[in-house]
Amino acid sequence: MKWNKFKNYNKNKSIFNRHTILLSWLISYIIVLLIPFAGNLIVNARVHHIIEEDIFASNKMRLEILRDKVDVFFHESERIASEMMGDDGIARLSQANSADNFTRYDAISIGNMFQRHIFSASHQISGYLYFPKMDMILSNNSLIDSKTF
């Protein structure tokens, strides 16, 4: 009877040891593999979030700079246009019916004034004035007809 009890004890102990081994293997597997993997996922998610924020901030800053440059460009264009609209030479030239010598002289002087206004701008601006009665186009350096243009 003594041996019988010992056999049962040994049998129960081996089952218990088997569960202990499986349990310890599972715990070590979790510690060795899953915890670093989870930590890596958390770090990668945080890095991705930080990079995304930096890209967003950089793009926002670039768009603000571009918006400011475009605003300055349009403001200068508007300033040049309003200065040119108040000029008496342009009003006289727009009322002229033909491009005779006196009108061409006025157009060249207006073109020189136009060029000075353009050079005073911080950005390179090119513009054209069209006079429909004469069918002529005035740029900052020439006066040509619309067919040649």
What pTM was estimated for this model as a whole?
0.54
**Own/partner long-range contacts of 12-18 (Cβ < 8 Å, ≥24 apart):** none
Query: In the prediction, which pLDDT does 142 show?
Result: 67
Between 5-14, 16-25, 82-91, 140-149, the lowest mean confidence (pLDDT) is in: 5-14
Does the pLDDT value for residue 44 go beyond 90?
A: yes
Contact 129, 114 (CB under 8 A): yes
Does the pLDDT value for residue 65 go beyond 90?
A: yes
